[in-house]
Structure 1
Amino acid sequence: MGPIATTFPVLGVAAWSSTGKTTLLVELLPRLRAAGLEVGVIKHAHHDFDIDKPGKDSYRLREAGAAPTLVASARRYALMQETPNQDEPDLVHLLSLMEPHAPDLVIVEGFKQWPIAKLVLYRDDIGDPGILACENVQAVALKGAAPDTLEASIVRLDLDNIDAIAHWILQWCAAFPDHER
């Protein structure tokens, strides 16, 4: 798997389950938006999920074989596509769906194995420190002591300092080639 080409920066947020990825993003997104960034998010789900409700027209249409099914209102739309023969989501395809929206940044939660720049979240009491050796790690937000195996070249951030993490993301994003902000 080679590097993924996009017209916008893509930053993966990788961590073991229960480390606080979503909690961090919920706190980071308003700060990044206040700084002027339009941020898209792609979240990996490790299980079967459904955003539709049984009995609703869209659910019935999808169950009847519509593929894809797009549900739209004046406030939002959702595109549902069945992927029955796919083992894992294809991040390249998902990122291509972001292109028409021209985000300033796309944050990818999960997808640890994909070759994208990563901010790794690490708590010394959760998971294996091997996650810190993931490919393309740019920075690590730590709770507790940094393991001895963490390379000196990797930026260290405090997992509890949301403002510092937001500042690092803004600087990292600004260094993206052809970034216009």
Structure 2
Amino acid sequence: MIEQSRLVTPVLGFAGFSGSGKTTLLEAVIPHLKSSGLRVGLMKHSHHDIEPDKPTKDSYRLRYAGSDQLLLATSKRHMLFFEYRDNEERDPQLRECLAQLDHSRLDIVLVEGFRNETLPKIEIHRPSYVKPTLFPHDPHIIAVAYDQKPDALDEFNLPSLDLNQPSDIAGFIKHWLANAPESEKYLAYELKL
């Protein structure tokens, strides 16, 4: 049964080109958010095939026996596997992935990747990587985190964040959570109940 779309948990993206340091930044920011008492969910988009299991493990054997979904549950964690066996390349859909999270246990969902999706985002930019900035073409970028200020940033009146100050970036996120309009913080998506 699918319930009507609901506004469940604030969602904030971290967008940038590969190698810009999104994962490294998130790894440094999350402990600051956690120390404030926030329950943080994270969704990471990858273009690589992943195999988080070993062939000798029961869960691996059961997945390869043909299960379409497998939930591996332990006292410490749950892992949910979805298998797409139709040999069709299937790019994950942000809203579908969001619906799979347990929102009753989260205060915010941070999204790494999905840079072309419509959601509020912090852009990660390093001019030394010689990649273009995203903010001039993406109205959903609400701040830019960088190690050297991009030239065009002043024209756009966006908050600028120092990549080397994860506590300040966490502070920006907490301020955004407390003050952003509801229409900016939430994405509507269907929850399967």
Q: TM-score, normalising length from structure 2?
A: 0.83
What are the equivalent positions in structure 2 for 1:162-173 lying under 5 Å apart? Answer: 162-173=166-177
User: What residue in structure 1 maps to residue 98 of structure 2?
Assistant: 95
Deviation at 1:128, TM superposition (A): 2.2
Q: Alpha-carbon deviations, 1:115-148, whole Å to 9, x = none?
A: 0000001111114224223240000011113222
Q: Are the aligned partners of 1:129 and 1:147 in contact in 2 as well (CA < 8 Å)? A: no
Deviation at 1:172, TM superposition (A): 0.5
Does residue 111 (structure 1) correspond to residue 114 (structure 2)? The answer is yes
Q: Are the aligned partners of 2:9 and 2:103 in contact in 1 as well (CA < 8 Å)? A: no
Select the structure with the greater relative contact order (CA < 8 A; seq sep ≥ 6): 2
Does residue 126 (structure 1) correspond to residue 148 (structure 2)? The answer is no
Deviation at 1:83, TM superposition (A): 2.5
Does residue 153 (structure 1) correspond to residue 157 (structure 2)? The answer is yes
Secondary structure of 2:134's match?
helix
Tell me whether 25-34 or 119-128 shows the greater mean CA deviation. 119-128
Tell me whether 94-103 or 71-80 shows the greater mean CA deviation. 94-103
Unaligned runs of 5+ in 2: 186-193
Unaligned runs of 5+ in 1: none
Distance in 2 between residues matched to 1:42 and 1:112, nearest whole Å: 12
Hey, which bits of structure 1, 4+ residues long, moved more than 3 A? 99-102
Q: Alpha-carbon deviations, 1:138-168, whole Å to 9, x = none?
A: 0001111322266432111111111111110
Task: Tell me the number of residue pairs that the alignment of Structure 1 and Structure 2 aligns.
Answer: 176
Does residue 139 (structure 1) correspond to residue 143 (structure 2)? The answer is yes
Q: Are the aligned partners of 2:68 and 2:84 in contact in 1 as well (CA < 8 Å)? A: no
Q: Alpha-carbon deviations, 1:101-121, whole Å to 9, x = none?
A: 441100000000110000001
Percent of paired sites with the same residue: 36
RMSD, matched Cα = 2.1
